[in-house]
Amino acid sequence: MTKKLTIQDLAAMRDKTRSLTVLRDGAGRAKVTVHMGTCGIAAGARDIMETLLEEIRSRGLQDVIVTTSGCAGLCNREPMATVEIKDQPPVKYVRLTPDKMRRVIAEHVLDGRIVAEYALAVGSETMY
Amino acid sequence: MKHHRAHLLVCAGTGCVSCGAFDVKTALKKEIERRGLADEILVVATGCNGFCEKGPIVLVRPDDIFYQRLSVDDIPLLVEEHLIKGRPVARLMYTPPADTKPVPKMADIEFFRHQRLIVLRNRGRIDPEKIEEYIAYDGYQAMAKALTEMTPEEIIAEISASGLRGRGGAGFPTGKKWDLCRKEKASPKYLICNGDEGDPGAFMDRSVLEADPHAVLEGMVIAARAISAARGFIYIRNEYPLAIQRLDIAIRSAREFGLLGENILGSGFDFDVEIVRGAGAFVSGEETALIASIEGQRAAPRQRPPYPAQSGLWGQPTTINNVETWANVPSIIRRGAAWFAGLGTETSKGTKVFSLVGKINNTGLVEVPMGIRLDEIVNNIGGGIPNGRKFKAVQIGGPSGGCIPTELLDLPVDYESLTRAGAMMGSGGMIVMDEDTCMVDIALYFLRFTQEESCGKCAPCRIGTRRMAEILAGIAAGEGRPGDIEKLEELAWTVKRGSLCGLGQTAPNPVLSTLRYFRDEYRAHIEDKTCPARVCKNLISFAIDPEKCVGCLLCLKACPVNAIAGERKKVHVIDQALCIKCGACFTACPVKIGAVSKLTGEKGRALVPEATRATTS
Ligand SMILES: Cc1cc2nc3c(=O)[nH]c(=O)nc-3n(C[C@H](O)[C@H](O)[C@H](O)COP(=O)(O)O)c2cc1C
Ligand code: SF4
Ligand code: SF4
Ligand code: SF4
Ligand code: FES
Ligand code: FES
């Protein structure tokens, strides 16, 4: 099987592959951090992570970076995630469930509307 | 490829591979699978990241966390802590030599911060074995532009305007070279990529080929269109198996995608390349010798002119450029000559890749803008000299380059400044030397190298370098005579003027430049019979200070010829007649005791071992 490319194919291949490697540049439009300290994991952070990745895949989102971080110091409100839209302050969501996570993606990540009912506060810890 | 939440970029350049990168990669993949993270996290093998000394290296993106000196045993912890719990592991990060706190992010590490990547832009970023990843980072866009939107004249005008000069040594303007070849009537014409890289300690070209082979191929197709060549050859030494393998994969996938071969990108233009493996002699990197080697003859240089551009491979017009030169071409065509010419100095544009080795904290591969001060490379990127020693000189330009002393650390690194200082750009080897380096010894080392690599065709090179090496060896052995320096200088100029190829023409450079900056050191060897750096064996001796020695037996056990006598808790003594000056005792004696000293110009006092003295204390 040969796949001789034309110039249009070349451009299309660039755009497609590039969208998948965008996180190697450490730059995306939005970044979602799932807090994965011990209590976060115990409270179900893994399910949140899986939901998040599933949503990103099924919606074909290519500019959303997903990372993890450690204990945020609010163990009683886990699972938590922080959503950062480029050039906007980060928003921390607490006591998430897979359904809540889906709503955060639809409304905050995609539409830019903060889901105030789940949000704890605006702000984020650093990683070190 | 799928969407993942993290990419682990495992360096798989030769350096990291030799210290276990593939084992680390396998362990990572296994651990990630075991933890059920295979769908979330992608492991990618990339080309040399530059900081080879710290290998094996893994970069975690998007977090930009830089892990170094990894072993298979570190992997479970790394996966558990960083990838599951999101707590980067400080213990596996890089800590600068003068610091105690690690620097987690690659972007903050001094070694990387001062670099400017054009040639190595894809290093540690793409999988060199996946053509799609090269394409993702604008790969083959410049070629598409050159094939469909530009005339050969326009391509050459762009390269000329960029100011790009050959990175293989002499720095000849690349656009001019292509233009000479384009204007030749004869056909067919050929292209050659010079990947011989014979300089000891240099690995720039190997790294480019390993990290980004498509950049070289793309550069060659662009030139092929400019001079209308249909065939190209990439000459790589056989000692570079990984580079050959990656290039081979790159060529095959480029052909499969229609980016090499017939009717490239449907433009009607045909061009193909093949790999030629070189035997790896230094002189076969010289262009006419290399051409002879591709033709199947012995790799010996011939008279120029005619230059390869007029009469090269099989007597046809041939454009030959260095690996790094080729790798610069796509960026220039894609981003324009003005962008490239905006970087660097008046006469030297763009960047240069150096391999930084020797007595320096951060050894590795660095790409810096032309005109950067030497001091920035040695101290900021290189992190200074280890073990509290002082900087003495940096040897630039490979075996036929020159040494640049401390006083000139302010020197901007460009073709002209280096030549004026008695060194040369060469292909980009930089060997840093500290105060424990003897300049006579260094000159001798390089001269022996070129003497052994001389093809023997011309008398000045063959006989002259031998005679020079003999004189230098005499000086180092303490048998130097007045007049030796003048004789060396005279011979040096004869060899330079009388030799046919660049090897002979530059071989005396290390001698001339060390004489220029370190003449006193030569004089000390000849007149005082001392070696100020305490290196030349005939001029030094080792002695134990009875006041300091605590009688720990370490030196005695280390001495390979039993030249040391002594007993536990008694002062030890070296028998000078037996000592072969290997320095093992010097290394063995604990630093904080420091009882063994290296002397020059005086012999250690003849002492009797304490244990056998008449009066014991
Ligand atoms: C003894 C000797 C060895 C050389 N070795 C190399 C080499 O290993 N790689 C290289 O690119 N050029 C080497 N050169 C320079 C080549 O002859 C030639 O100038 C160069 O490949 C041209 O490419 P450029 O214009 O892109 O620099 C060597 C020259 C001499 C005299
Ligand atoms: S200068 Fe030396 S290496 Fe070059 S052709 Fe003459 S003998 Fe051979
Ligand atoms: S320099 Fe080597 S041979 Fe001489 S005394 Fe020390 S260890 Fe023994
Ligand atoms: S190693 Fe140093 S302290 Fe120990 S016996 Fe030798 S000279 Fe003395
Ligand atoms: S581990 Fe989640 S807040 Fe403490
Ligand atoms: S080979 Fe890994 S950093 Fe050079």
Residue B235 pairs in a beta bridge with B194, B276
Identify which of B227, B220, B218 has the alpha carbon closest to the alpha carbon of residue B310.
B227
Q: Could you give the CA distance from residue B485 to residue B126 in angstroms, rounded to a whole number?
A: 52
| Pocket lining: B57 vs ligand 6, CB cutoff 6 Å | yes
Is there a contact between A40 and A73 (Cβ–Cβ < 8 Å)?
A: no
B244 φ/ψ angles, rounded to the nearest 5 degrees = -65, -45
- Segment holding B355, helix H or strand E: strand B351-358
B543 pLDDT above the threshold of 50: yes
Q: How many residues does chain A have?
A: 128
- Give contacts of A68 with chain B, Cβ < 8 Å: 5, 82-86
Which residue in the set B6, B87, B133 is minimally distant from A70, CB to CB?
B87
A25 pLDDT above the threshold of 80: no
Ligand 2 site-directed mutation target among B196, B282, B302, B458, most atoms within 8 Å of CB: B458
Q: Could you give the CA distance from residue B199 to residue B506 in angstroms, rounded to a whole number?
A: 13
A120 pLDDT above the threshold of 50: yes
**Cα dihedral: A34, A36, A42, A47 (round 10):** 40
3-state class percentages of chain A: helix first, strand second, coil last, to nearest 5 = 45, 20, 40
Tokens found for residue B287: 């262009």
- Report the first-to-last Cα separation within chain A, whole angstroms: 50
Type of residue numbered B235: Y
How many angstroms from the chain centroid is the CA of residue B119?
A: 15
Q: How many percent of chain A have pLDDT more than 90? A: 22
Predicted structure pTM score? 0.89
Contact A21 B7 (CB under 8 A): yes
B603 pLDDT above the threshold of 70: no
Is there a contact between B312 and B232 (Cβ–Cβ < 8 Å)?
A: no
Averaged pLDDT, A53-61: 86
Which ligand is nearest the CA of B181, by number?
1
User: Half-sphere exposure of residue B547, counting CA atoms within 13 Å on the CB side?
Assistant: 2
- How does B276-292 read in b/e, with b if 16+ C-beta sit within 10 Å? bebebbbbbbbbbbbbb
Residues 6 or more apart in contact with residue B604 via CB below 8 angstroms: B541, B542, B543, B544, B574, B576
Which ligand is nearest the CA of B562, by number?
3
> Chain A to chain B, count of Cβ pairs less than 8 Å apart?
119
Residues 6 or more apart in contact with residue B106 via CB below 8 angstroms: B59, B64, B65, B66, B112
> How far is B336 from chain A, CA to nearest CA, in Å?
19
Which residue in the set A7, A14, A66 is minimally distant from B138, CB to CB?
A14
Report how many helices (DSSP H) and strands (DSSP E) chain B contains, helices first.
Answer: 24, 17
Tokens found for residue A3: 């796949």
Q: How many residues does chain B have?
A: 617
The reported pLDDT for the residue numbered B616 is 42
Largest Cα separation within chain B, whole Å, is: 97
Closest chain B residue to A7, measured at CA: B265
Query: Ramachandran region of residue B437, left (φ > 0), alpha (ψ -120 to 50) or beta?
Result: beta
Question: Is-cis flag, bond preceding A79, omega within 30?
Answer: yes
| Pocket lining: B286 vs ligand 1, CB cutoff 6 Å | yes
Q: Could you give the CA distance from residue B440 to residue B181 in angstroms, rounded to a whole number?
A: 43
B244 pLDDT above the threshold of 80: yes
Q: A94-103: per-residue pLDDT in tens?
A: 889 999 999 9
Q: B356-402: per-residue pLDDT in tens?
A: 999 999 999 999 999 999 999 999 999 999 989 999 999 999 888 99
A77 near B CB under 8 A: no
The reported pLDDT for the residue numbered A27 is 66
More confident residue, B74 or B125: B74
B418 pLDDT above the threshold of 90: yes
Beta carbons within 10 angstroms of residue B573's beta carbon: 25
CA distances from B129 to B216, B247, B472 (A): 14, 8, 48
The reported pLDDT for the residue numbered A125 is 41
User: Half-sphere exposure of residue B108, counting CA atoms within 13 Å on the CB side?
Assistant: 13
How many angstroms from the chain centroid is the CA of residue B467?
A: 29
- Segment holding B191, helix H or strand E: strand B190-195
A127 pLDDT above the threshold of 50: no
**Weakest-pLDDT range from A44-53, B126-135, B496-505:** A44-53
- Report the first-to-last Cα separation within chain B, whole angstroms: 78
Which ligand is nearest the CA of B593, by number?
4
CA distances from B93 to B108, B463, B465 (A): 12, 52, 47
The reported pLDDT for the residue numbered A128 is 32
Q: Could you give the CA distance from residue B1 to residue B205 in angstroms, rounded to a whole number?
A: 30
The reported pLDDT for the residue numbered B508 is 96
- The H-assigned helical ranges of B82-233 are 110-113, 131-136, 141-148, 152-162, 174-183, 204-211, 213-227
More confident residue, B342 or A16: B342
Distance B300 CA to ligand 2 centre (A): 8
A116 near B CB under 8 A: no
Q: B65-105: per-residue pLDDT in tens?
A: 999 999 999 999 999 999 888 889 999 999 998 888 999 99
Which residue, judged by its Cα, is nearest atom 3 of ligand 6?
Answer: B52
Contact A128 B257 (CB under 8 A): no
**B296 band by pLDDT with thresholds 50, 70 and 90:** very high
Tokens found for residue A62: 């290519």
Is there a contact between B145 and B333 (Cβ–Cβ < 8 Å)?
A: yes
Residue-averaged pLDDT of chain B: 93
Q: Could you give the CA distance from residue B337 to residue B160 in angstroms, rounded to a whole number?
A: 8
B1 pLDDT above the threshold of 70: no
Contact B62 A41 (CB under 8 A): no
Q: B573-597: per-residue pLDDT in tens?
A: 999 999 999 999 999 999 999 999 9
Give the 3-state secondary structure of A21-68: HHHHHCCCCEEEEEECCHHHHHCCHHHHHHHHHHHHHHHCCCCEEEEE
| Pocket lining: B467 vs ligand 2, CB cutoff 6 Å | no
Identify which of A21, A33, A95 has the alpha carbon closest to the alpha carbon of residue B3.
A21
B471 SS3 class? helix
Identify which of B262, B189, B274 has the alpha carbon closest to the alpha carbon of residue B223.
B189
Residues 6 or more apart in contact with residue B283 via CB below 8 angstroms: B198, B289, B299, B300, B301, B453, B454, B455, B501, B503
Tokens found for residue B313: 């491979």
Contact A24 B132 (CB under 8 A): no
- Segment holding B432, helix H or strand E: strand B429-434
